[in-house]
Amino acid sequence: MDILTEKSRAVKVLVTGANGLLGQKLVDQLRADPEIHVIGTGKGQSRLPNAWKGSYEWREMDVTDKQQVLEVFAEIKPDAVIHTAAMTQVDDCEKEKDQSRIANIDAVSNLIEACRTNDVHLVHLSTDFIFDGEEGPYTEEAAPNPINYYGQTKLEAENRILESGIRWAIVRTVLVYGIANDMSRSNIILWVKKSLEEGRNIKVVNDQWRTPTLAEDLAEGCVLIVKKGATGIFNISGKDFLTPFEMAIQTANYFGLDKSLITEVDSTLFTQPAKRPPKTGFIIEKAKNELGYSPKSFTEGIGILSKQIKLADS
């Protein structure tokens, strides 16, 4: 049942990791809906734009602190929680496994208990890195087989949710890109644009495939799940199946930059602590059919970032 028609009062949606890229996009979209009361949470103070003040509520909440999570949920009594907070730097997870486990698995257990106690719909963000990348792009029914520790933690979190008995939806996504309010996080578009504008030669891999996901699209998919009260696993990603080299070429083309500075290489040139799956990406027909999800093309995503860059610079 559609959650907005089920309840007469404003629907309370709590967002974890609300200072992050996806968290910011979620708060922005949710606060625009008069039927939703959005509660942003994070470890410290809000870093959301000053212009948004008064349109959302903020609570300090560390998802790894079980007691704090239980107290905030008991006070707020949300209808749904969108869990974006995680340790997502793949190499850091490989090097700091204890910290990764706490952030990506124990935190989910804390939220499961809070959701069970307060009858809350949990919408959990997961990743294409639960797959080995041998047979992508993947449907929701594909068998996971992670090849790095980050993927292992995210799969374990999924399994705990599957066994929890609560109302849940798992959102798997791929290579999220966008611009946060404080411009603190780079992405392939910003990196390519800056490098080429400075006349630097760059090497970009041509033997990995992804379906890169605009942060605004991912947020929209999560919001659709909350509004529809949808449950189950959903692939929410972009629709274009591209290599990083192809992404770089599209970026250069869009901004009219010198493509001759881009050299395509294979991933064996780079040494990284964590292995990367070669070919992931998602088939998103389920999200299109059941949610009405409709993502932008990668070129359209570049255009959206271009406008945001101009606004930030003005």
| Distance of alpha carbon 196 from the chain centroid | 27
Task: Out of 94-103, 179-188, 232-241, 297-306, pick the least confident.
Answer: 179-188
Q: Which domains does the chain have, with CATH numbers?
A: 3-180+213-240+281-296 (3.40.50.720)
Compute the Cα dihedral for 177, 178, 180, 183 and give only its sign. positive
Q: pLDDT tens for residues 148-205? A: 999 999 999 999 999 999 999 999 999 999 999 876 668 999 999 999 999 999 999 9
pTM of the model: 0.96
The phi and psi torsions of 227 (rounded to 5 degrees) equal -65, -35
Question: Would you give the DSSP letter of residue 105?
Answer: I
Tokens of 112: 């499961």
What is the predicted pLDDT for the residue at 184?
Answer: 67
Within 163-263, residue ranges assigned H as helices are 188-197, 215-228, 244-255
Neighbouring residues of 28: CB distance < 8 A, sequence distance ≥ 6: 52, 219
pLDDT class of 1 with cuts at 50, 70, 90: very low
Q: Where are the alpha helices (DSSP H) in the chain?
A: 3-6, 21-31, 66-76, 90-95, 97-101, 107-118, 149-162, 188-197, 215-228, 244-255, 285-291, 298-313
